[in-house]
Amino acid sequence: MPIEHRGSSDEAKLIARSLAQDPDAFGQLVERYATVIVNLAYRMVGDRTEAEDLAQETFVAAFKSLPAFRAESKFSTWLYRIAANKCKDWLRAKRPGQAVHDVDGEDVLDDRVVEERTPERLLSQQQVAEQLGGAIQRLPPLYREAFVLKHVEGLSYEEMQEILGVKTDTLKMRVYKGRLQLSRELAELKEV
């Protein structure tokens, strides 16, 4: 679900006051975007405590680099960018030797035709949510990042391009492949 762009002038005032070292103003910005950033981090790293830590680091980094924020771009876009980089750095550190490399040239998905399988039984909504959450964690980081921004955060491909600095065609392919992998995993889980 996309972030509501609540009154750009209101947000501009909060940013201006934050630049003037007004902690109350920046506190309001944190409160406004905390849920979004925490959820992005959670879907990226899969751990609630780590997600909150990464989200806090995101806001601290945002505050310190606030003088570099360009008013013509959206504050949320800028926050997303910082958060995405923090999450990738965390993933990189947790899995040394396994770089968050570009998987776009690879075909990491199984070509099995799973659409022929039909569900034997229905899973409960909670079970589906848990299984889907786990499956998202098993996506390659770049697919995961694109899928989460697109379908968890509800961003457009243009917004994602601005955040990640990646062309929309490449982002679309990453999302497509993420969907495919997830649909196959869900289909397999329903078979169990």
Residues that bind other proteins (CB under 8 A): 1, 23, 26-27, 30-31, 34-35, 38-39, 42-43, 48, 51-52, 55-56, 59-60, 63, 114-116, 118, 125, 128-129, 132-133, 136, 147, 151-152, 157, 172, 175-177, 179-180, 182-183, 186-187
Closest CA to 163 of 88, 94, 53, 54: 88
The answer to whether 177 and 107 have CB atoms below 8 angstroms apart is no
Minimal distance, residue 154 CB to other proteins, in Å:
8
Minimal distance, residue 61 CB to other proteins, in Å:
10
CA distance 80 to 64: 16
Pick the closer one to other proteins by CB: 1 or 192: 1
Pick the closer one to other proteins by CB: 20 or 97: 20
Pick the closer one to other proteins by CB: 6 or 97: 6
Pick the closer one to other proteins by CB: 96 or 122: 122
Minimal distance, residue 115 CB to other proteins, in Å:
4
Minimal distance, residue 171 CB to other proteins, in Å:
10
Closest CA to 68 of 115, 136, 102, 18: 18
Pick the closer one to other proteins by CB: 91 or 160: 160
Minimal distance, residue 169 CB to other proteins, in Å:
11
47 to 51, 134, 149: CA distances (angstroms): 6, 11, 17
The CB density around residue 88, as the number of other CB atoms within 10 Å, is: 17
Minimal distance, residue 113 CB to other proteins, in Å:
8
